[in-house]
Amino acid sequence: MEKNTRLILALDVTDRDEAIQISEKVAGYVDAIKIGYPLALATGMEIIGQLSKYAPIIADFKVADIPNTNRLICEQVFKAGADGVIVQGFTGHDSLEAAVKLAKEQKKDIFVVTEMSHPGALDFMQQAGEGIAKMAADVKASGVVAPATRPERVTEIRKIIGNELSIISPGVGAQGGSASDVIKAGADWVIVGRSIYQSDEPDMAAKKIVDEIKEVI
Ligand code: NUP
């Protein structure tokens, strides 16, 4: 993924035409489009190929299974045309290694969730976040997913993973996080969904975030 605008669109709409229209509008402002279960379940996996002409696609399937199943899932997602897959880290090193090995063979990316951005992540996930970040660095994943809602945690995670891995960070806008704050804290990309796709002018909403990021880099 080329580091250009530092914005990744989270396209959690459930209508194919709407997904395509929004992608067309924002293509110039995003470095990637992240799709997840809402869109893939509503439209089928073909949507990945259809959207990949606008931007690289990151499939946010938060894969969390045994090594063999992780590999089988990632195989299908890459076959559908995705450039990257988001996997959970809490399943441990062998599950993660299976996904990373396959991704490396296919020159694709694996992003590992460290701790999630919502309040409930404090119940269980946060305690594991630093260990997961270290594991992601050890197995040489492409990057981690860390919360824009807690920029101080992004800074902590950056210290653990160093500069080889990327940080992609959701939680900007609708969840209360700030794009400029989390970029300053050490994120490489922000992931933004509702603030863009629910806007009457998604392209202008995206541009505003890109301009905000440019101010601080
Ligand atoms: O910790 C995470 N938080 C999060 O919001 C990990 C994620 N993958 N996400 C995803 O980012 C979430 O599923 C959604 O697709 C996007 C944020 O969307 P929004 O809050 O900007 O609408």
Q: Are strands 189-192 and 84-88 parallel, antiparallel or unpaired?
A: unpaired
Q: 127 CA distance to ligand 1 centroid (A)?
A: 20
Q: Chain centroid to CA 55: how far?
A: 14
> At residue 112, what are phi and psi to the nearest 5 degrees?
-105, 125
pLDDT band at 36 (very low <50, low <70, confident <90, very high): very high
Nearest CA to 111 among 154, 61, 155?
Answer: 61
Nearest CA to 39 among 23, 19, 53, 24?
Answer: 19
Calculate the CA dihedral of residues 176, 180, 184, 187 and round it to 10 degrees: 70
Closest ligand 1 atom to Cα of 115? 1
Residue-level pLDDT at 93:
98
The reported pTM is 0.99
Q: Which of 62, 134, 207, 208 is catalytic?
A: 62
- Cα separation, 192 vs 52, in Å, equals 18
Q: Which two tokens stand for residue 114?
A: 């460290």
Tens of pLDDT along 169-195?
Answer: 999 999 999 999 999 999 999 999 999
Annotated binding residue 129: no
CB 12 near ligand 1, within 6 Å: yes
- Cα separation, 32 vs 54, in Å, equals 8
CB 173 near ligand 1, within 6 Å: yes
Atom 1 (ligand 1) nearest CA: 116
Q: How many residues does the chain have?
A: 217
Is 107 an annotated catalytic residue?
no
pLDDT band at 217 (very low <50, low <70, confident <90, very high): very high
Residue-level pLDDT at 130:
98
Nearest CA to 156 among 140, 178, 132, 179?
Answer: 132
Percentage of the residues of the chain whose pLDDT score is greater than 90: 100
Is 188 an annotated catalytic residue?
no
Tens of pLDDT along 61-85?
Answer: 999 999 999 999 999 999 999 999 9
Residue-level pLDDT at 126:
97
Q: Which of 25, 31, 60, 83 is catalytic?
A: 60
Mean pLDDT of 94-101: 98
Q: 170 CA distance to ligand 1 centroid (A)?
A: 5
Residue-level pLDDT at 85:
99
Mean pLDDT of 136-153: 98
Q: Are strands 143-145 and 57-63 parallel, antiparallel or unpaired?
A: unpaired
Annotated binding residue 168: no
Mean pLDDT of 44-67: 98
Decide: 169 and 189 in contact? Cβ < 8 Å.
yes
Provide the ipTM: 0.99
Q: Which two tokens stand for residue 94?
A: 């062998």
Residue-level pLDDT at 142:
98
Mean pLDDT of the residues in the chain: 98
CB 191 near ligand 1, within 6 Å: yes
CB 8 near ligand 1, within 6 Å: no
Is 203 an annotated catalytic residue?
no
